[in-house]
Structure 1
């Protein structure tokens, strides 16, 4: 195992735009995954990531049923698996803090898009691999 700081890993995650966000779905808790952009919005302090979506899909139902989620990232020789909890945020002021102009290609009405939600993924454990190096970080909540 190789040591990397949480800040080191957060910087890597920031450079990988698309994650596969994984949730438990349905009453039987099967696994569902979908691509989501982190918009380069990754906290160097605790590795929290932020993803915009709308509440008319399955992801909001999944996270209301179980906040347990994960995200996987891949960029070059860097691979990462994040396990943690997902929180749905509907607060406009918080949306404004995390909004980037590039999101308008997905959300035509910008911050006024009906049903807009922000998904905050707070990691509990991060496993990473880069070339022959690998490591794990446990994040204290």
Structure 2
């Protein structure tokens, strides 16, 4: 096991734009995954990530039914699996705090996009691998 701090891992996650965000879905609790950008918005203190979406897809229903979620990241020889909880935000002040101009390519009306939501993923466990090194962090 290698020694990496949560800040080290958060820095890596910040450099990887797209993660596969995973939720439980449907009454049977099947697994659903979809690519989501973290917009380089990763807390070095606790590894929390933030992802914008709209509420017209399945992800908001999934997180309302079960807040358990995860995200996987990879870049080169670095792989990471985050397990934790997801929280939906709809209030304008929180959306503004995490908005970056690059998001306008996905959300043409910016913060005024109908149904815009912010998904906050708070990790309970982070497992990572890089080359022959590996580790686990529980924030």
* Coarse TM-score class (shorter-chain normalised): over 0.9
> Alignment length, in residue pairs?
139
Q: Deviations over 1:66-86 (max 9, x none)?
A: 000000000111100000000
Structure 2 residues not aligned, in runs of 5+ = none
Q: Deviations over 1:14-43 (max 9, x none)?
A: 000000000000000000000000000000
Q: Deviations over 1:107-141 (max 9, x none)?
A: 010000000000000000000001110000011xx
Show structure 1 runs of 4+ deviating over 3 A. none
Structure 1 residues not aligned, in runs of 5+ = none
TM-score under structure 2 length normalisation: 0.99
Secondary structure in 2 matching 1:24:
strand
Q: Does 1:133 align with 2:133?
A: yes
Partner Cα separation in structure 1 for residue 3 and residue 62 of structure 2: 34
Q: Deviations over 1:34-56 (max 9, x none)?
A: 00000000000000000000000
Partner Cα separation in structure 2 for residue 132 and residue 5 of structure 1: 17
TM-score under structure 1 length normalisation: 0.98
Partner Cα separation in structure 2 for residue 102 and residue 138 of structure 1: 31
Partner Cα separation in structure 1 for residue 98 and residue 76 of structure 2: 26
Q: CA RMSD in A?
A: 0.4
Query: Hey, what does 2:82 align to over in structure 1?
Result: 82
